[in-house]
Structure 1
């Protein structure tokens, strides 16, 4: 509401400005966490793509060499012995545990990225049988992550 002052100038009172600032602060406090959760959820797609890609490459190795961990399989060497594959934008690192007949892949959120704050889906996992699991920061399963 604009008020005319003694000198004839129009303006807002301090109370009016403070009410607007308070309303904007409340809206931001509600909207920002929701927005960040939406960003994290969309970034999880990157982990799913890389996990599925590595799993397919391992399946091709198994077809060609009858073992997931064969030395001729380049993807096997890239995810074992404390080595990891980084996702395209660097939000996740993918590691694997391989035996001749099984594999377990795990995508872990990289610290310092928006995904590091993902409390619901800290890690995503995929094995040779296609079983998909996810764990949150309390190590309970989160099926909605996949």
Structure 2
């Protein structure tokens, strides 16, 4: 019986990791994590932009309903019966008149979604601020990470088509 017990203890003591192998594994996992995390966070930000798109679309629909009963577009979200936050709360929503010369509330308005402080969208380097402008029946889009003024166009990288 002593041979059997000796054989079992010899088999059990050979397994396991050395401290060097464990350290190498942790370093490799750390490097992989450091490379993958920014890409993962960017994907999350892109997917959460849909919250802004939905909020802007809701304002656009409400503005058209308002305009069908009034001579011009509304100047406040309260008039439209909407709050100042997107559904999931990642963006604050604002409306205003168009800043272009000659535009009036009868034919133009601007909707802007801004990444809410304390959310991942506030750190979006490319599309923290999203804006849509209606001028004379045409929609124009803009977006930026940290701009004061928008450059509107019929297409924009921050807005899916």
Task: Give TM-score, length-normalised by structure 2.
Answer: 0.73
* Residue of structure 2 equivalent to 1:20: 25
1:100 to 105, 108, 111: 105
Q: Does 1:143 align with 2:156?
A: yes
SS in 1 for 2:139: coil
> Could you list the runs of 5+ residues in structure 1 that have no partner in the other structure?
79-83
CA contact (8 A) 1:61 1:70 kept: no
Q: SS of 1:31's equivalent?
A: helix
- 1:48-67: CA deviations, max 9, x gaps? 11101101110121121121
- Could you tell me which runs of 5 or more consecutive residues in structure 2 were left unpaired when the two chains were aligned: 1-9, 98-103
**Distance in 1 separating the partners of 2:96 and 2:33:** 43
**Using the alignment, how far apart are the partners of 2:141 and 2:68 within structure 1?**
22
Q: CA deviation at 1:137?
A: 2.3
Alpha-carbon spacing, 1:113–1:55, altered in 2? closer, same or farther (3 Å) = same
Evaluate the alpha carbon distance shift between residue 11 and residue 63 of structure 1 in structure 2; reply closer, same or farther with a 3 A threshold.
same
Q: Which has the higher contact order (CA 8 A, sep 6+)?
A: 1
Aligned to 1:81: none
Number of aligned residue pairs: give it.
Answer: 134
Aligned twin of 1:87: 86
Q: Is the 8 A contact 2:56 2:112 kept in 1?
A: yes
Residues 75, 95 of structure 2: 8 Å contact kept? no
1:59–1:8 distance in 2 versus 1, CA, 3 Å: closer
Instruction: Output aligned runs, 1:33-44, within 5 Å.
Output: 33-44=38-49
- The structure having more radius of gyration, on CA atoms, is 2
